[in-house]
Amino acid sequence: MALSIKKSVKYLRILNIYLNIKPAQIMIFHAKNKKSVVLINALMVAVLIPIFFMGSSCCNNPTEPGTRFDFGDGKPLKNFVKVTPGMLYSEADSFGFLRGADLQVGKLSGNKDRDYISSRDPFIFLADVPEGNYNISLTAVGMEGNSLLTIKTESRRLIVQNLEIPEGETKTIQFTTNVRRPEIGNGKEVRRKPREYGHFNWDRSLSIEINGVNPAVSSLEITRNETAITVFLAGNSTVTDQKHEPYSAWGQMLPGFFKSGRVAVANHAESGEALKSFIGEKRLEKLLSQIRSGDYLFIQFAHNDQKTKSSAYAAPFGDYQDLLKRYISEARSRGATPVLVTPMLRRSFDEEGLVINTHGDYPEAMRQVAKEVEVTLIDLFAMSKVLYETLGPEDSKKLFLHYPMGSFPGQEKEIQDNSHHSTYGAYELAKCVVKGLRESQLELADYLLEDLPDFDPSHPDPFSSWDLPLSPSIDITKPDGN
């Protein structure tokens, strides 16, 4: 039974776990000795058949609970799948690195059996998994001069920011993330926008971005989590997981505020959405197909609902309130807890340095609904007013997208966007949401990290102390909704 080089190398990845035979060796056998090809392929059959019947996980099926990856070129840890720098992701292999980074291998000083993969650039590892919540345990290595590790999952969801790892030491970071796909069932799926195709939030894989100063990873374990509370987010561009730098939103900053293993954030918000379009595009239907008793649904709209020339327009004290009640009722009927979040203000100041309300009656309409149906309300509108006015007309630009020409590749014009937020602005707004959650009577607040400092929007974090490494994906095209 002879196989092609391509298939031999593919199956050799499985053998490499057990026999530590390298792809280069099999290619030499192919080139020099046809008899060796037959013998090696016979060996593959002899080894693979019992492996498959034993139900062992292999590189073409890393979706089993407890999938474990060992990074480097040395002997793999027991029951770990070996991952070397040349293993690029493909659907056929179902795991690997995203092309682009210059990856290097190394061994931990004083521990010849502990190897790792590092890069001077951010790098992304993907592994196909079914949709759901997953616990991830990642062991990172401190490189020469120490490392500062930043981890993001899927489309730039912030998990860890600038974690210091001393040279020669390892640290294991544990976190929980949500993976979803567009299919709903019965042949239906979410009606995505062109910009969403190729989006990490809708693909087959769990993606993990390793970023920072001298980032290096030694091992990774992925385990299905069936018990975590899921916080679903429904909203627009100011909430969504923005895929590309420099845009950001508070929803993608939220995951890092919760305890690992206890809470996962499923951000279904999307740019340009309103309450009506979120239903029409089957986003609410998808969300409701996943939500279960004990979960939460955070709802923040209004930016696009107020556009009178749009088919998504909803009058504040009419359709808008009725639709909010529908979302609330749908969540409650499934045993989930709805939470209303008023929209943050746009950056618009009057001559006295006070923020102008460009949302009209929508925030008040939400407050009335919250009171009428007894649902928790986080007044991000009110907190954002304090935040913006504290910083003032000039310094508040740092919360938004204000960059001179040439700040990013291909940027030929100055960016002046007073609706969408920078990473700094998104993080400060996420802190406002967390503050509102803490002040509520919701059980979810018990699962926030215990060492979180109190936050006061009248005393924002200084911009000079903000440092979040850029993700490799940059696109200055303005998201839908303004």
| Residue-wise pLDDT tens digits, 473-482 | 988 888 887 6
* Bridge partners, residue 68, by sequence: 221
- pLDDT above 90 for 51: no
The band of 12, judged by pLDDT with boundaries at 50, 70 and 90, is very low
Instruction: Say what the pLDDT of residue 410 is.
Output: 85
Q: How far out from the chain centre does Cα 114 lie?
A: 28
**Residues ≥6 apart with Cβ < 8 Å to 185:** 289
Instruction: Say what the pLDDT of residue 113 is.
Output: 66
| Residue-wise pLDDT tens digits, 234-283 | 999 999 999 999 999 999 999 999 999 999 999 999 999 999 999 999 99
Of residues 459, 438, 298, 451, the one with CA closest to residue 375: 298
Angle between helices 5-19 and 34-54 (to 10 degrees): 60
Q: Which of 217-221, 307-311, 346-350, 406-410 has the lowest mean pLDDT?
A: 406-410
For residue 445, CA distances in Å to 172, 229, 234, 457 come to 25, 12, 19, 19
CB count within 10 Å of CB 288 equals: 18
d(C-alpha 159, C-alpha 451), whole Å:
15
Q: What is the mean pLDDT of residues 391-414?
A: 95
d(C-alpha 362, C-alpha 315), whole Å:
8
- pLDDT above 70 for 413: yes
Instruction: Say what the pLDDT of residue 306 is.
Output: 96
| Residue-wise pLDDT tens digits, 162-181 | 999 999 999 999 999 999 99
The band of 198, judged by pLDDT with boundaries at 50, 70 and 90, is confident
Instruction: Say what the pLDDT of residue 117 is.
Output: 97
| Residue-wise pLDDT tens digits, 70-97 | 999 988 888 999 999 999 999 888 999 9
Q: Residue 364 is encoded by which pair of tokens?
A: 């008040």
**Residues ≥6 apart with Cβ < 8 Å to 345:** 355, 357, 358, 359, 381, 384, 385, 388
d(C-alpha 217, C-alpha 162), whole Å:
15
Residue positions counted in the chain: 482
| Residue-wise pLDDT tens digits, 205-234 | 999 999 999 999 999 999 999 999 999 999
- pLDDT above 60 for 67: yes
* Bridge partners, residue 95, by sequence: 127
Instruction: Say what the pLDDT of residue 392 is.
Output: 98
Instruction: Say what the pLDDT of residue 19 is.
Output: 39
Q: The whole model's pTM is what?
A: 0.86
The band of 110, judged by pLDDT with boundaries at 50, 70 and 90, is low
| Residue-wise pLDDT tens digits, 317-375 | 999 999 999 999 999 999 999 999 999 999 999 999 999 999 999 999 999 999 999 99
Instruction: Say what the pLDDT of residue 155 is.
Output: 96
Q: What angle do CA 190, 194, 199 make, to 5 degrees?
A: 75
d(C-alpha 224, C-alpha 52), whole Å:
22
Q: How much of the chain, in percent, has pLDDT values that exceed 90?
A: 78
Of residues 180, 255, 277, the one with CA closest to residue 447: 255
d(C-alpha 449, C-alpha 427), whole Å:
16
Instruction: Say what the pLDDT of residue 469 is.
Output: 96
Identify the residue with better confidence: 54 or 262. 262
Mean pLDDT of the chain: 88
- pLDDT above 90 for 38: no
- pLDDT above 70 for 21: no
